[in-house]
């Protein structure tokens, strides 16, 4: 579980590559965003898939109210000016999900482009369900944006069902998507 220090850069590149577009509005430019998010990734909130010794997929999750990336005021201020930190906290607060007792909430699943379609994403989802079982959780939950129907199709095939839908309303232009769907899979299913 997790990644070692020497893997942080590749995990960061993978994570930012998949979710940078959504997070970019919080930062002055993509380089800054990638650097700050990569530095804040928590190895103990991530499942990692490797192939030939290299990281090819990751699946973040929340634990004790904290997600995969440390995007707290303290972390942001360590890398950004006060003004830039205020902006980042404001933009990111809307994207953060909160854990629920008894539910493992996922925080970003992605697979290296060159390795997609070979079952790695499915393996990571199975590992998340297994982790939830070990933790004694009754379900695994994730959110998928409306512009990503292929990912949603994968989740449905893996046994996730829709429990809620949300909308960012007028803020959609800031993040690049409007609606998102929350899906869940029971750990005893």
In the complex, minimum distance from the CB of residue 59 to ligand COA, in angstroms, rounded to a whole number: 8
Decide: is 183 part of the binding site for ligand COA (CB under 6 A).
no
Of residues 119-148, those binding ligand COA (CB under 6 A): 119-122, 144, 148
Pick the closer one to ligand COA by CB: 14 or 80. 14
Q: In a 3-state reduction of DSSP, which class is residue 95?
A: coil
92 versus 109: smaller Cβ distance to ligand COA: 109
Residues 18-37 that bind ligand COA (CB under 6 A): 18
Determine the Cα angle at 71 with ends 69 and 74, to 5°: 130
Shortest Å, Cβ 29 to ligand COA: 22
CB of 177 to ligand COA, least distance (A): 11
Q: Strands across the sheet with 139-145, in order?
A: 46-51, 54-61, 103-111, 139-145, 179-186, 161-167
102 conformational bin, left if phi > 0, alpha if psi -120 to 50, beta if neither: left
Q: Is 176 in the site for ligand COA (CB under 6 A)?
A: no
Contact 140, 129 (CB under 8 A): yes
In the complex, residue closest to ligand COA by CB: 121
182 binding ligand COA? (CB under 6 A): no
Regarding 74 and contact with ligand COA (CB under 6 A), the answer is no
* Interacting residue with ligand COA among 1, 153, 163, 189 (CB under 6 A): 153
* CA-to-CA separations, 51 to 5, 31, 61, 111, 118, in angstroms, rounded: 18, 27, 21, 11, 11
CA atoms within 13 A on the CB side of 25: 14
d(CA 126, CA 169): 33
Under the binding rule (CB under 6 A), the answer on residue 71 touching ligand COA is: no
Could you tell me the smallest distance in angstroms from the CB atom of residue 181 to ligand COA?
A: 9
Helical (H) or strand (E) element with 161: strand 161-167
* Residues within the interface to ligand COA (CB under 6 A): 18, 109-111, 116-122, 144, 148, 150-151, 153-154
């Amino acid at each position: 579980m997790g990644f070692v220090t020497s893997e942080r850069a590749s995990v960061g590149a993978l994570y930012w590559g998949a979710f940078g577009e959504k997070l970019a509005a919080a930062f002055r430019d993509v380089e800054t965003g990638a650097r700050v998010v990569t530095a804040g990734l928590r190895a103990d909130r991530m499942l990692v898939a490797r192939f030939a010794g290299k990281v090819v997929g990751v699946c973040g999750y929340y634990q004790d109210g904290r997600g995969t990336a440390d995007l707290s005021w303290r972390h942001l201020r360590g890398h950004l000016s006060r003004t830039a930190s205020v902006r980042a906290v404001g933009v990111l607060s809307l994207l953060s999900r909160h854990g629920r007792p008894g539910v493992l909430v996922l925080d970003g699943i992605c697979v290296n482009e060159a390795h997609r379609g070979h079952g790695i994403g499915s393996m990571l989802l199975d590992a998340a369900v297994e982790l939830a079982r070990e933790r004694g959780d009754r379900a695994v939950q994730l959110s998928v944006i409306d512009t990503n129907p292929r990912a949603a199709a994968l989740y449905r095939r893996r046994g996730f069902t829709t429990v809620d839908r949300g909308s960012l309303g007028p803020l959609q232009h800031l993040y690049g998507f409007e609606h998102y769907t929350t899906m869940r899979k029971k750990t005893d299913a």
